[in-house]
Amino acid sequence: MTTLQDQTAGILQIYQANILRHQHSVRKAKKVKGGLALARLAVFLLAALLVYYYWPAMSSSVVSTLFCGIGLGILVFFDAAKSEQIKNHGRLIQINQHETDAMHQQLSAYDDGLIFSDPSHAYASDLDLFGQASLYQFLSRCHADQSKKLLADHLLHPLSFTQIREKQEAAREMAGKTEWSQQFQSNAMANPISFQTEKRLRQWIDEPAGIFEKSYWKGLVLIYSLISITILVFYIFDLISLSGFLLALVCFLGVSSLISAKVHPTWILLSRIEPEMNALYEQLHAFENESFQTAFNQELKNKISGSGSPSVTIRQFRGILKRFDFRLNLLVFFFLNTFVLWDLQQMIALVVWKKKNKHMLAPWFQAIAEIEVAISVASLIRNKPGWCFPLINDRYFYLRANDLGHPLIPPANVVLNSFALEGLGKVAIVTGSNMAGKSTFLRSLGTNLVLAFMGAPVCASEFEASGMHLLSSMRVADNLAENTSTFHAELKKLQFIIENVNHREPVFILLDDVLRGTNSDDRHAGSRALIRQLIREKAVAVMATHDTGLARAESDRDPNSVITYHFDSQIRDGELYFDYRLRKGICESLNATLLMKKIGIHFDD
């Protein structure tokens, strides 16, 4: 039977094999590039030799130079293609190396999502959703700004039952398409799509076309180009004088400059976004040409198609932008704009394209975000074969987890526990010695629920839960800027929780060492009152505490509503040992005295 360790080793071997394969491809491409460089040099020398040989026969020299120029252009084209191949293989090497690092819990290569952190959120800070070594950094394979935000939104806001099932199926399908997913990531890495580009495009879409929407502009371009080129040809064949040609040229320059001044604001808005449009093209082209069976992925395909192929439509737009950017080459632009009104031609093409496709931009950007988030979850599925997909139901309240662990603890160190809680008005009180694992257990519950509610697998062999709103008060800090003490900050958190409870929201509450900022008597009384209020209001909570007296008194008072668990520790040869195993009942062994002695505090025995 294949063990989990064997499966993990097999996955690492696949990534390593991918790295070696792409490295081999890079070496081959570089050899070809070396040959192309020599071929370009040979063609250049041949052109010089032919010109020297045929000189002063102008026609033979021109023909020789023309043919050599065409050959040189072809070689340059192939060289550019090989350069892109090398870059692509380099990105694929990086992707596989990052996956290898991630399986060893080395996450520094990935975005930490700290910009999405919200200290006022119901559980984000307590569960380390953002920042270094966070759940976001552990999950994210996103490169577009839109994808990063969508992933953060899924972590912060649980999906509906239907959405969870759809996302699970879509991610499962993506997990079976490793090579496709990695190539999609490579395309995304080449030129990540930014919010700034989307904002500029939306601004352009929302702007009225103005005078350029008029149909007579096409006729003007045709008549103008016919006249200007005719005059140029007449001048070349000495049918008009130099002074006449210069006078006409000044007129052409005046007309083209007036039109370009009207076009310039649009060019400023759309300039230099062509690389990101190329990335959008590559990604949507890959998606529409791949076969998908799940309803979510098929529906996503239908949304981006509109009246035709999204990749063809974007390629058309990208072509217009490329031609628009001829402005950056002053010599080429001077000729084209003066004689054929190049700016006006591109503006007309943009107006036509916008009228036809302006409603498709939002679905395209949304599709990229959905695909990258699905790829992120798919990477988790591949890298964690021992994890399971949770079952989410509408049976509030129900939670059952077998072999539950914290997703961010390395597999070699994680300790798995099983836990179940069912019914309304329930409080599970977890006691235990310092550093025994209480807080980690609460975060294991919360973090896996966050994964479950975004459609991802969870760190458990079995996991079933009802839909619920997750609330927590675990990690509380003071705020000097707001003149808020730790105790006051915690009271604000508890107030938010109580308001949700009073509204009879389907909540699941995680509480760690509550009311720590006050004296022991007030803390005990306040915790007791909070437990009783939660039970009275039919809420469900897991509370970690050092107060064994509180746990004993409340479980004795209401054994049907208060369930006790604990983490234990043992002392061997004057040292503390923890097994991090969750057990039923109340902890009887505390370790604070030993810890204080070890740092040098002397007790009078």
pLDDT in tens, 126-151: 999 999 999 999 999 999 999 999 99
H-type alpha helices, 404-458: 438-453
pLDDT recorded at residue 490: 80
pLDDT of residue 68: 80
Is pLDDT at 433 greater than 90 in this prediction? Answer: no
How does residue 211 score in pLDDT terms, banded at 50, 70 and 90?
confident
Query: HEC states along 103-130?
Result: HCCCCCCCCCCHHHCCCCCCCCCCCCCC
What pLDDT does residue 60 have? 67
Q: Is the pLDDT of residue 479 over 60?
A: no
User: Average model confidence (pLDDT) for the chain?
Assistant: 88
> What does the pLDDT read at residue 42?
87
For the structural domain made of 391-598, what CATH number should be given? 3.40.50.300
Q: Which residues contact 279 (CB under 8 A, 6 or more apart)?
A: 187, 188, 190, 191, 192, 193
Look at the block and give the residue holding tokens 């160190």: 413
Convert the pLDDT of each residue in 293-332 to its tens digit: 999 999 998 888 866 788 889 999 999 999 988 887 787 7
**Average pLDDT score over residue span 47-61:** 72
Render pLDDT for 80-99 as a digit per residue (tens, 0 to 9). 899 999 999 999 999 999 99
pLDDT at residue number 481: 42
Q: Judge whether residue 455 has pLDDT over 80.
A: yes
CB 407 within 8 A of CB 543: no
Contact by Cβ (8 Å): 384, 463: no
Average pLDDT on 452-463 reads 96
Residue type, 415: V
Pairing of strands 507-512, 417-422: unpaired
- Give the confidence band of 153 by pLDDT, cuts at 50, 70, 90: very high
What pLDDT, on a 0 to 100 scale, did the predictor assign at position 311?
A: 86
Strand partners, 144: none
Q: Each residue of 239-296: pLDDT tens digit?
A: 888 898 889 999 999 999 999 999 999 999 998 898 999 999 999 999 999 999 999 9
Assign 2 a pLDDT band (cuts: 50, 70, 90).
low
Helix (H) or strand (E) holding 362: helix 361-383
SS3 566: strand
d(CA 206, CA 193): 20
What is the four-CA torsion angle of 364, 164, 98, 125, rounded to 10 degrees?
Answer: 100
For the cut 80, the answer to whether the pLDDT of residue 599 exceeds it is: no
Q: Give 137-184 as a 3 state SS string.
A: HHHCCCCCHHHHHHHHHHHHCCCCHHHHHHHHHHHHHHHCCHHHHHHH
- Are 160 and 452 within 8 A, CB to CB? no
pLDDT at 593 over 70: no
Average pLDDT over residues 473-486: 60
Q: Which residue has the higher pLDDT, 579 or 60?
A: 579
